[in-house]
Amino acid sequence: MVLSQRIHEAFKGTVERITAPRTVSAFKEKGVLSVSEFILAGDNLVSKCPTWSWESGEPSKRKSYLPAEKQFLITRNVPCLRRAASIEEEYEGAGGEVLVDNEDNDGWLATHGKPKDKLDDDDNLPSMEALEISMNSNVHQSISNHFGGEEEEDIPDMAEYEESNSLIEADPATLQPTYLVAHEPDDDNILRTRTYDVSITYDKYYQTPRVWLTGYDESRMLLQPELVLEDVSQDHARKTVTIEDHPHLPGKHASIHPCRHGAVMKKIIDVLVSRGVEPEVDK
């Protein structure tokens, strides 16, 4: 972590400690959310998109201004099947970001615009701000398990067991793994299906929700957070999207920095107001 980021975090931490959480709504004026509005919006997301749920995270990291069982929101196992490069082309072709105000998107910005129907990404994944959650690998090598370790060649494996009547490979009722990958869009590369856990936390300093990404490779091994950045448009990697400590979970995770969130939400709200729609936090 760079020094300036450290200093900023220390500063932010101090401000968070001494300022009281926002209790009065400034959603319409500034595009920010109070704690209770965050919970309201979260409850709404959970009921409309039940793949999301509230979690309490690590007890030691619990925030006292949030209910213990509603510390943050998470949806697990969001697949990504397409390659970033191909999405990028379509994305440019479709004019980039568009504002979506249907209820499932919670008034956030859909970055994929019109080619949405071609995308395999879940669109119940509310994308925020200018992040292309294209979640695809654009580099072949990136998808191999860089988390180190790998399999050690000298380990005696199941195949070496002689008395092998419990071998899954020898069992006629087990679907063998080759079939499992046959569902991939193309057969040339079976490595493309990464999955992501997407979580939303409340950032008390910016008074906004904040989105975090945790990636897994195709064999469901954790992806190093740096590799997640390769799935994000290079315009945003390390600027809007950074790697930091998750406020409720152990380890480093990629996150969309919340500093512009308020301003962007304000823009969205203004559009809604200009259309005569009264914006509410749970919409």
Partner 1 sequence: MANQQAGSILQFAPFQSAVDEGFWHRLSSLKLNKLGIDDSPIPITGFYAPCTHSQVSNHLTLLMESLPSDSDEESSVTATSHGNRNRCSVPGTLYNTNTLESFRAIDRESLLKEEAKKIWEDIHSGKAIDDSAVLSRFVLISFADLKKWNFHYSVAFPALVLNPPATLVDLRPASQWFSSQEAEAVRAACNEWRNSSATADEPFFLVSIDSNSNSTIRHLKDWEAFQNDCQKLLFGFYDPCHLQNNPGWPLRNFLALIFSRWNLKSVHFFCYRENRGFADMGLSLVGEALITVPQGRAAEIGDHQCVPNAVGWELNKQRKVYRCISLAKSMDPTRLAISAA
Find the Cα–Cα–Cα–Cα dihedral 151, 154, 157, 161, rounded to 10°: 180
Contact 233, 92 (CB under 8 A): no
Closest separation in Å from C-beta 49 to partner 1: 6
Could you say which of 180, 259, 263, 273 is catalytic? 259
Q: How far is the CB of 251 from partner 1 (least distance, A)?
A: 4
Active-site annotation holds for 259 = yes
Q: What's the order of all strands across the beta sheet hosting 241-245?
A: 53-55, 72-80, 194-203, 208-216, 252-256, 241-245
Question: Which one, 146 or 266, has the nearer CB to partner 1?
Answer: 146
167 alpha-carbon distance from chain centroid: 37
Smallest gap from residue 132 Cβ to partner 1 (A): 19
Question: Residue 20 or 159: which CB sits closer to partner 1?
Answer: 159
Nearer to partner 1, 41 or 265 (CB): 41
Query: What is the closest distance, in whole angstroms, from the C-beta atom of residue 142 to partner 1 in the complex?
Result: 16
Q: Which is nearer to partner 1, 228 or 269 (CB)?
A: 228
Other C-beta atoms closer than 10 Å to the C-beta of 216 total: 18
Tell me which residues touch partner 1 (CB under 8 A): 1, 6, 49-53, 56-59, 68-69, 75-79, 81, 120, 122, 124, 145, 147-152, 155-159, 161, 163, 165-169, 171-175, 177, 179-180, 183, 190, 193, 195, 197, 214, 216, 218-222, 224, 249-252
DSSP for 218-282, written as a single string: TTSPBPPHHHHHTTS-TTTBTTTEEEEE-SSSSSEEEEE-GGGHHHHHHHHHHHHHHTT----TT
Active site members = 259
